[in-house]
Structure 1
Amino acid sequence: MRAMRQIRELAGDTPAHRNRHADLLRAIAIAAVVTGHWLAVYVTYDGTLQGGSVLDTVPWARWLTWLFQVMPIFFLVGGFAGAASLTSHRERGGTAVSWMLVRTGRLVRPTTMLLAVLTVSALAARVAGVDSELVGTGVWLAAIPLWFLVAYLAVVALTPLMYGLHRRYGLAVPILLTVLVGVGDVARMAGGVPYVGDANYLLAWLAVYQLGFSWQDGRLPAERSTGLPLALAGLVALVSLTVPGPYPVSMVGQNTSPPTLALLALAATQTGLALWLQPGADRWLRRPRPWTVVVAVNSVIMTVFLWHMTAAALGVLALYPTGVLPNEPAGSPAWLLLRVPWLLVLALILAALVAVFGPVERRPGGRPDPRGAPVLPALAGMAAVLGGLLTAAVAGPGDHGPAGMPTAALIAYFAGAALLRHARR
């Protein structure tokens, strides 16, 4: 009750100049991500748990990724919000480092809680005699969101540099980044050049993030005359790149590991739709009820994202070994019908997790002196956090140490998080 009262007060105190449409897009995107991930999980149990992705066995499901792959929306909105907050921070006398400390605080805090809980849970499971491979697989499933977080934190850390390029060169920056993504695709797919395409993990998301800068300063105006042509151009490019090839139709898997031109075509489509829909969305969000819902979702959005795969792992253990959900072929009518109780149970588990861990995200963090943030601890902390998360993300399922993840990765992450916390205070 107290949390809801605070949310209603926060919604009522929203300044008139705030772009509410950006917050709505973020809320819709998190709902799509959670639902899409849950629907993609395919589990069987015949004495041992086995599973995979429905996209690997049900070809028609791959088309649905055009709706559920909304990671570009997060980077688009992130670029919009980053540009606005960085500009405001500098107007108050802040530095790039102090802005980074403030901006990453709400991302790192709930991530630290997730990794701490996973570490303790994995160690407890080992003590209880649970098979080490099963522990590692469970931790890997729960930690899948770290893939996104590595890229997003890296882009946030580069925001001051990239925003400086944006102010000087505008839309030429995302255009150049898109060209570089295409070069990486060619090197990886046609030339067989190793590792070159891996740069797209950063370049592609930076390109979408830069579009958020242009949205924020009006170079991409939120008008139907701008949004609709961009959306149609992106859709034409997406169809042209995937239906005849050479890119697969699915926007999950080969088009995200690493990101490709096809994914950027989807990003252009989503950006155009966002711009096209903003005038109507702005009017609708002036109503207190829908805006309060949007504020409520955004107040725990990182918690929802970080814990939704933990909810899936707990749901698997609760529903399949007990026989509550039977084994049905993926994509069959019976399997589709069983997605209803599956989603309901996972939603209840996630709601409980958010109730427990949501306050960690909502709690105000330490704010550094904008004029005197310690540079070296901040940069070292950020590097350690990114290195630890990246090492944990690429490890994959399996037994990687007592906590289910590489021990060195956890040590690096927690040391980096401690340095960032020290720098903020």
Structure 2
Amino acid sequence: MRRLRQLAERTPPGRERYVDLLRALAITMVVLGHWGVTVIGYEHGRPAGRSALADLPWTWPLTWVAQVMPVFFLVGGYANAASLAARRRRGGSATGWLVDRSARLVRPTTTLLLVLAAGATVATLRGAEATQVRTVVWFATIPLWFLVAYFAVVALTPPMVALHRRFGLVVPAALVALVALGDLGRLLGPAGLADGNYLFAWLAVHQLGFAWYDATRPAQPTSDTPGAGRPGRSAATGVGPHDAVGRADGRRGHERTGLRRRELPLSPRAGTILLAGGLVTLVLLTVVGPYPVAMLHVPGERLDNAAPPSLALLAAAAAQLGLILLLRGPAGRWLRRSGPWQAVIAVNAVVLTVFLWHLTAAILLVGLLDALGVLPTAPVGTATWWAWRIPWLAALAVVLAVLVAVFGPIEARTRRPSGPPGGRGRARAHGRVSTALAVAGYAALVAGLLLNSLAPKEAAEPLGLPAPALVAYLAGAGLLRLLRSGWGSRG
């Protein structure tokens, strides 16, 4: 508690604390949502899980708020724009930023993958079926779908920031148009046209984070961490920690008008327009149009708004952004209080760990309750099923707390350097070779995680993960680690 108080007291006055609150709330909603809608039963004598959404259609409109992936990419865009600007103000390069930015994402993720692979190996050696091992590991790695997209948008941040500086809000508008084109492919063919939506949709929301940052850039540089008083001291994850830094180019976005402007309008009026417009569009697309009402996957639906992200999901994102803007003022005043701000700092210190391990916590609890013969398997929607929700969530929270206590320090202790190693001379040392190596490192991370996500969940994988996926990911992580140590910086 003393450490949290110190961090809270050292928070620079210009920090956009609301961004940190949104990240903490979003991760909480993801965790509780996944846990809350999970139905546990038995298949072929073994515990199995599925989503309750198909049995509870009245909950589908609630997913318009519960689907918070847009919030992650919004605050991620703000964070990435802020930290990249801070890096450049200190004389650093985009390549150096990419290399350092990977640390907070890679280390906790690598830990998860290695622990799962080790556990799967032990289970296989003890006689467990390789297909069963793969199913368990596949479920535990579902959160990595998010990191596939997020690693990609982080790698693309420098060129996308350059596009934002030149074209402003035209960029996300163009990306939304590409998402609409992909949706036409899903509706009329070819369906593969929609695969690009996995990138285009999240890039569009990420760009809005750039615009939010441009609208709130304070005059003085501050730190990369909630509560930290010196640059680079991070208590939040690479998924969203940010620097509140001075304006990078000294030009005001409001000198431009229309979609060419770089600043996101933050007024309550803008929030009202976005909320109303997003909701109206969402109703038209889902009630009148061909899109499902649910913003999460529902078995049996012709379309899936989340995989790949659809135009309807972007309409929900617009409505969420409107609500975020409307609550920004009251939330900002509330976060000036020490207690709430300390809680936000605490969550952000281990936010990625919480996200990565929350389904592993469910696996461990199900295994324990099954071994004890007390696994709750009441039918969905019954009084017994609802009665189990609170103790179920509480038990999962306890298991996750233990996992966070064990693995959270790996994330919390990761620190970014306050500036380029060796000053400006070292910053200029990043040449084409080191840039290519950094991009290759990110590409290997994405390829590895994508291969794992696309591999069948019942494939015979003794490691629980496809060997090529694990090798590709570890190669990317290792390459970025070498670059962080200074290797290749003269190339």
TM-score bracket, shorter-length normalisation: over 0.9
Q: How big is the shift at 1:244?
A: 2.2
How many residues matched? Answer: 421
Please report how far the alpha carbon of residue 75 of structure 1 lies from its aligned counterpart in structure 2 after TM superposition.
0.4
The residue matched to 1:243 in structure 2 has which SS? helix
1:306 aligns with 2:366: no
CA distance in 1, matches of 2:5, 2:416: 24
Establish whether residue 227 from structure 1 lines up as the match of residue 268 from structure 2.
no
Distance 1:319 1:177 in 2: 46
8 Å contact 1:197–1:258 — kept in the other structure?
yes
Which of 125-134 and 257-266 deviates more? 125-134
Tell me which residue corresponds to 1:351.
401
The structure 2 residue matched to 1:252, chosen from 282, 292, 296, is 296
1:127-162 CA distance string (max 9 Å, x none):
111222221111011100010010011001101111
C-alpha contact 2:366 2:375 (8 A) present in aligned 1? no
Give yes or no for contact 2:133–2:462 (8 Å, CA) kept in 1.
Answer: no
Q: 1:165 to 1:376 in 2, by over 3 A?
A: closer
Give the aligned partner of residue 129 of structure 2. 131
Aligned to 2:153: 155
Cα distance in structure 2, aligned partners of 1:397 and 1:321: 23
Structure 2 Cα separation of the partners of residues 376 and 355 of structure 1: 37
Match of 1:17 in 2: 14
For residue 364 of structure 1, report the CA deviation from its aligned partner: 2.7
8 Å CA contact 2:275, 2:320 repeated in 1: yes
Aligned residue in 2 for 1:416: 476
Structure 1: give runs of 5+ residues left out of the alignment: none
Question: TM-score, structure 1 length as denominator?
Answer: 0.96
The one of 68, 93, 117 equivalent to 1:70 is 68
Kindly provide the amino acid, as one letter, of the partner of residue 267 in structure 1: A
1:386 matches 2:446: yes
SS at match of 1:286: coil
TM-score, normalization by structure 2: 0.83
Shift in Å, 1:365: 4.4
The reply on whether 1:371 has 2:443 as its aligned counterpart is no
CA distance in 2, matches of 1:10, 1:196: 47
Once the 2 structures are TM-superposed, how far is the Cα of residue 413 of structure 1 from its aligned partner? 0.5
2:326 partner SS: helix
- Secondary structure at the residue paired with 2:388? helix
Among candidates 270, 284, 288, match of residue 320 of structure 2: 270
Give, in angstroms, the shift of residue 165 of structure 1: 0.7
State how far apart, in whole Å, the 2-side matches of 1:240 and 1:247 are.
9
Q: Is residue 251–residue 263 contact of structure 1 (8 Å, CA) maintained in 2?
A: yes
Equivalent residues of 1:79, 1:209 under 8 A apart: yes
Matches of 1:376 and 1:73, distance apart in 2: 30
How far off is 1:52 after superposition?
1.2
- Partner-residue secondary structure (3-state), 1:372: coil
Residue 366 of structure 1 contacts residue 421 of structure 1 at CA under 8 Å; is this kept in 2? Answer: no
Q: How many percent identity over aligned positions? A: 54
In structure 1, the residue corresponding to 2:288 is in which secondary structure? Answer: coil
406-415 or 326-335, which moves further after superposition? Answer: 326-335
Over 3 Å counting, the alpha-carbon distance change for 1:89 and 1:371 in structure 2 is same
Hey, what does 1:27 align to over in structure 2?
24
Among 270, 274, 288, the alignment partner of 2:338 is: 288
SS of residue matched to 1:87: helix
Q: 1:242 aligns with which of 286, 289, 311?
A: 286
Secondary structure of 1:331's counterpart equals coil
Supply the distance in 2 between the matched residues of 1:283 and 1:255 (Cα, whole angstroms): 35
Which residue of the partner structure matches residue 337 of structure 1? 387
Cα displacement (A) at 1:400: 4.3
Structure 1 residue 232, shift from structure 2 partner: 1.1
Amino acid aligned to 2:40: V
Query: What residue in structure 2 maps to residue 42 of structure 1?
Result: 39
Superposition RMSD on alpha carbons, in Å?
Answer: 1.5
AA paired with 1:170?
Answer: G
Distance 1:59 1:286, change over 3 A: same
Q: Indicate whether 1:196 and 2:253 are aligned.
A: no
Q: CA–CA distance in 1 between the matches of 2:382 and 2:193?
A: 40
Q: Distance between the aligned counterparts of 1:166 and 1:336, measured in 2?
A: 47
CA distance in 2, matches of 1:87, 1:66: 33
Return 5+ residue gaps in structure 2 as ranges: 216-262, 298-303, 422-426, 486-491
1:82 is aligned to: 80
Deviation at 1:366, TM superposition (A): 6.5
Q: Distance in 2 between matches of 1:408 and 1:400?
A: 14
Aligned residues of 1:135 and 1:399 also touching (Cα < 8 A):
no
Amino acid at match of 1:68: A
Q: Which residue identity is paired with 2:50?
A: G
Question: What is the SS of the residue equivalent to 1:401?
Answer: coil
Alpha-carbon deviation of 1:62? 2.3
Identify the range of structure 1 (345-354 vs 319-328) with the bigger mean alpha-carbon deviation. 319-328
Secondary structure at the aligned position of 1:255 is classed as coil
Distance in 2 between the 1:40 and 1:309 partners? 12
Q: Which one-letter code corresponds to 2:72 in the other structure?
A: F
1:70 CA displacement: 0.4
1:205 offset after TM fit, Å?
Answer: 0.3
Give per-residue Cα distances to partners, 1:309-337, cap 9 Å, x unaligned: 10111121122453323321112221111
